């Protein structure tokens, strides 16, 4: 038993090529949009990392200013307790 395939015409091939070109164009747009989003998220991440680093430094400064052996739990409770 043999499988007979119908020969493709130039119109069929042209239509397939056009469809593939359209799909590639949409994929290029999607890749560009995703790349822009990744770039924005990278900047946001770096900003958050720097903010966290500054907060950690500030916490260290506050803990050192309280003196050795003293913890925030040693402070008197606020007046509303």
Q: Has residue 75 got a pLDDT over 50?
A: yes
pTM of the model: 0.57
Q: What token pair was written down for 64?
A: 């050192």
State yes or no: pLDDT of 67 exceeds 80: no
Per-residue pLDDT tens digits for 2-58: 556 667 788 899 999 999 999 999 999 999 999 999 999 999 999 999 999 999 999
Looking at residue 71, its pLDDT comes to 66
CA 47 centroid distance within chain: 13
Q: What's the pLDDT score for residue 9?
A: 85
Q: Domain map of the chain by residue range?
A: 13-65
């Amino acid at each position: 038993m043999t499988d007979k395939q119908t020969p493709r015409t130039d119109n069929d091939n042209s239509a397939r090529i056009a469809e593939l070109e359209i799909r590639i164009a949409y994929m290029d747009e999607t890749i560009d949009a995703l790349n822009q989003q990744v770039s924005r998220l990278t900047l946001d991440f770096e900003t958050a990392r720097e903010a966290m680093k500054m907060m950690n430094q500030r916490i260290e400064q506050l803990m050192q200013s309280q003196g050795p052996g003293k913890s925030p739990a040693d402070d008197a409770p606020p007046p509303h307790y």
